[in-house]
Amino acid sequence: MIEIISIGTAVPEHSFKQKDVIPMMQKIYGLDAVEARRLAFMYRQSDIETRYSVLSDYSNFSNEGAWNFVSATQDEPMPNLDERMKIYNREALPLSILAINDCLKDIIKPQDVTHLITVSCTGMSAPGLDLQIAEMMDMQPQVFRTSVNFMGCYGAVHALKLAKLICLSTPSSNVLIVATEFCSIHFQKEYTPDSASSTILFSDGSAAVLISNKLSSSKKIELTDFYSKVAYRGKKDMAWELSHKGFIITLSSYIPDLIEQDIQALVDEAAKHSGHDIKDITHWCIHPGGKKIISAIQKQLHLNSDDMRFSKDILSRYGNMSSPTVLFVLKEIIGNLKDDEPANILGAAFGPGLTMETFLCTKQ
């Protein structure tokens, strides 16, 4: 049996309330009164209460003199890609270690990890985060390492899929997945619908998952099946590109509509692929890409508020952290399962393409 043994999570030390940074963002963007009111309305309608960032600017939102990353003047340039990657390379390892320690505590030692998969779409280097983690955690020099890069919010689902393939092909595997994202370091000062949406939604965080065909979890959560689909007509509506100014995101307002049109067929096909019916799903682990995406999925699948409570809760408490976010949701679901409670957990995440990835976890 291939099981999810444990999930650990971590967030940066700098937190901020969504409502508190509205004046900061209005000033940075240099908005007139009309646009300032519009941005404030969007912030208040986001259903996000708190977010986290590796940048201290956001926790010092009321003190312009303490801003190190952004500036209040329009003529001062933002950090370039080199400077943003320096922040990622400095901060990704310590936050990842926090998530790993939360995941592995009292279960196995880092030396017992046989395979390491890192996930990120907000920072890359070589040698990369995978090698940094292996060295810092004193893992075996022969540990298998690979990385899932630039896949966006569904990257962790792809990593889960790789972990299952590894466990199917290799006996006695303890696979550690580490998804770490710093979305906030790619803030762009140009005020566009895409930049405004990303500024409202995204935040920073890390999650680690231990998958094994050797160990057994107390709740016996089996990683059962995967199913994916690409809606090619949406390839221009969600994109993530490198630029000398940082990573530039395209986040069309049509994305919720595209997902709403395709989610019913995707879920039906995913359930059928795993030998189930949609009625068999007991828990929904939906990546909280935003309030409108959650609402569109809930409406189209005829789900109630209780079905979406874990996704809504994570969105409210953390915002959209990209790839780790669905793992935060999964951790909450698993942690709330009763010992004698069977479960079929269907997870779904979305990213550039427009790619829709699903996974199924079962508990007998």
Domain count within the chain: 1
Q: From residue 341, how far is each of 97, 304, 330, 364 by CA, in Å?
A: 32, 20, 16, 8
Query: Does any domain span residue 150?
Result: no
Query: Does any domain span residue 228?
Result: yes
Q: What pLDDT is recorded for position 234?
A: 67
Q: What pLDDT is recorded for position 72?
A: 67
Q: What pLDDT is recorded for position 195?
A: 79
Query: Does any domain span residue 341?
Result: yes
Supply the CATH number for residue 311's domain.
Answer: 3.40.47.10
Cβ neighbours of residue 76 closer than 8 Å, sequence gap 6 or more:
none
Q: Which domain holds residue 254?
A: 221-363
Query: Does any domain span residue 160?
Result: no
Q: What pLDDT is recorded for position 197?
A: 85
Q: What pTM, to 2 d.p., does this model score?
A: 0.95
Query: Does any domain span residue 226?
Result: yes
Per-residue pLDDT of the chain (364 residues; tens, 9 = 90+): 999 999 999 999 999 999 999 998 998 888 999 999 999 999 999 999 999 999 998 888 778 777 888 876 667 788 899 999 999 999 999 999 999 999 999 899 999 999 999 999 999 888 899 999 999 999 999 999 999 998 989 999 999 999 999 999 999 999 999 999 999 999 888 888 777 888 899 999 999 999 999 999 888 999 999 999 887 876 666 766 777 777 877 676 667 787 888 888 889 999 999 999 999 999 999 999 999 999 999 999 999 999 999 999 999 999 999 999 999 999 999 999 998 899 999 999 988 777 889 999 999 8
Query: Does any domain span residue 163?
Result: no
